């Protein structure tokens, strides 16, 4: 006997994509499911029923044999086998701890769309953040110098801000009349240049709700100049969050990379002085900062943000990995800026 399933083909395809992305499968493998969901969404019920009946789903662009099987099973009210397998294998809790803190998070400060190196459109990221129960998601695509990640020039960023407005309107997000709804916030993950400057114009940075600043180049710089570089960025009045501070990679498809070296006490003290949050990057391949630095930042009195750094919708659900580490380090939830209300967060993030 197969299990009953009543959420329909689009939800089945999206759930499969979500589970694969959360497990950080190659986005190429996942794209087929998202493309098929988009294709099915465009069909009327009549055409869907007819094509399921006569087995012609695969004639549609975007639907192959395996996605057609999912659509057919779901349309007939049965749990698709592929989905059942994935729920069994990947659908359970990702971590032992961190769940209470995760439940206290109101949003996510670091995420990427297909405008830079993410795999999905802005609206799909926003929709998934809503489904995860967030009040907001900050969209933080890369800045121009990160060419491999298709970083956004000032003019592309200006265009993206208009798209964010349109997405908020489309999602019926928060307005002054209904301030409680979900809202996609305007942000950036801006590169920290070699001299500590930021890779975007002040004019553009000013228009954003929040800015994450990260080092992506010359990660092996000597400790002294690296410390100066990071402290200069932290002092910049536009910077709100110091992203993945050591740049290390501990596991995963991109291989491993040692942490950058810098005077962490000096950098974190500057974060305290200038009201900049130290990011706990939740990606399992980053686990950044390492535990000793996380505890140092805790002892120095830093604020924190726990961010997914999602490059696909399902990766938005990786935050619990960072929550588990923050809980283990005994960090007070009130020092984690994404436990705050959206209004409090936005006013904290105004340029100093």
> Considering the complex, what minimum distance in angstroms separates the CB of residue 314 from Zn ion?
16
Nearer to Zn ion by Cβ, of 135 and 189: the residue is 189
Touching Zn ion, residues 305-334 (CB under 5 A): 309
> Considering the complex, what minimum distance in angstroms separates the CB of residue 145 from Zn ion?
12
Nearer to Zn ion by Cβ, of 10 and 320: the residue is 320
Cα dihedral value 253, 256, 259, 260, nearest 10: -80
> Considering the complex, what minimum distance in angstroms separates the CB of residue 215 from Zn ion?
8
ω before 224 within 30° of 0 (cis)? no
Can you tell me which of 72, 214, 315, 319 binds Zn ion, judged by CB under 5 A? 214
Cα dihedral value 254, 257, 262, 266, nearest 10: 50
> Considering the complex, what minimum distance in angstroms separates the CB of residue 330 from Zn ion?
27
Interacting stretch for Zn ion, rule CB under 5 A, among 74-82, 189-197, 228-236, 337-345? Answer: 189-197
Looking at the DSSP bridge assignments, the partners of residue 187 are 210
> Considering the complex, what minimum distance in angstroms separates the CB of residue 141 from Zn ion?
9
Q: Tell whether residue 240 is a contact of Zn ion (CB under 5 A).
A: no
Nearer to Zn ion by Cβ, of 168 and 214: the residue is 214
Question: Residues 112, 141: contact at Cβ < 8 Å?
Answer: yes
> Considering the complex, what minimum distance in angstroms separates the CB of residue 129 from Zn ion?
15
Nearer to Zn ion by Cβ, of 140 and 168: the residue is 140
Token couple for 27: 């986005």
Nearer to Zn ion by Cβ, of 214 and 227: the residue is 214
Can you tell me which of 73, 141, 189, 279 binds Zn ion, judged by CB under 5 A? 189
d(CA 67, CA 55): 12
Interacting stretch for Zn ion, rule CB under 5 A, among 45-53, 96-104, 182-190, 196-204? Answer: 182-190
Nearer to Zn ion by Cβ, of 309 and 317: the residue is 309
Nearer to Zn ion by Cβ, of 189 and 324: the residue is 189
Interacting stretch for Zn ion, rule CB under 5 A, among 170-178, 187-195, 272-280, 289-297? Answer: 187-195
Count of residues that interact with Zn ion, criterion CB under 5 A: 3
d(CA 2, CA 81): 8
Give the residues lining the site for Zn ion (CB under 5 A): 189, 214, 309
């Amino acid at each position: 006997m197969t299990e009953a399933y009543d959420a329909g083909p689009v939800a089945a395809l999206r759930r499969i994509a979500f589970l694969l992305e959360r497990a950080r499968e190659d986005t190429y493998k996942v794209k087929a499911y998202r493309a098929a969901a988009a294709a099915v969404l465009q069909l009327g019920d009549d055409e869907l029923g007819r094509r399921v009946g006569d087995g012609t789903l695969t004639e549609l662009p975007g639907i192959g044999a395996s996605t057609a099987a999912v659509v057919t099973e779901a349309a007939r009210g049965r749990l698709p086998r592929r989905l059942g397998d994935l729920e069994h294998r990947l659908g359970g809790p990702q971590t032992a701890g961190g769940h209470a803190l995760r439940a206290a998070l109101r949003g996510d400060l670091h995420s990427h769309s297909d405008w830079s190196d993410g795999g999905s459109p802005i609206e799909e990221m926003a929709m998934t953040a809503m489904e995860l129960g967030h009040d907001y998601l900050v969209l933080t695509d890369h800045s121009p110098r990160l060419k491999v990640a298709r970083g956004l020039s000032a003019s592309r960023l200006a265009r993206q801000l208009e798209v964010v407005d349109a997405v908020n309107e489309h999602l019926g997000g928060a307005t002054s009349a209904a301030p409680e709804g979900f809202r996609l916030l305007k942000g950036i993950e801006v590169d920290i240049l070699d001299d500590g400057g930021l890779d975007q114009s002040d004019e553009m940075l000013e228009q954003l709700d929040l800015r994450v600043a990260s080092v992506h180049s010359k990660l092996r710089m000597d400790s002294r100049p690296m410390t100066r570089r990071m402290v200069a960025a932290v002092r910049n009045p536009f910077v709100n969050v110091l992203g993945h501070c050591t740049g290390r990679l501990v596991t995963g498809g991109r291989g491993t990379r040692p942490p950058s070296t810098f005077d962490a006490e000096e950098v974190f003290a500057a974060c305290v002085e200038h009201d900049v949050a130290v990011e706990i990057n939740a990606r399992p391949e980053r686990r950044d900062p390492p535990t000793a630095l996380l505890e140092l930042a805790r002892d120095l009195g830093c604020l924190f943000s726990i961010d997914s750094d999602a490059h696909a919708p399902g990766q938005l659900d990786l935050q619990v990995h960072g929550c588990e580490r923050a809980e283990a380090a005994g960090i007070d939830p009130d020092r984690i800026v994404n436990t705050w209300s959206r209004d409090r967060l936005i006013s904290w993030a105004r340029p100093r």
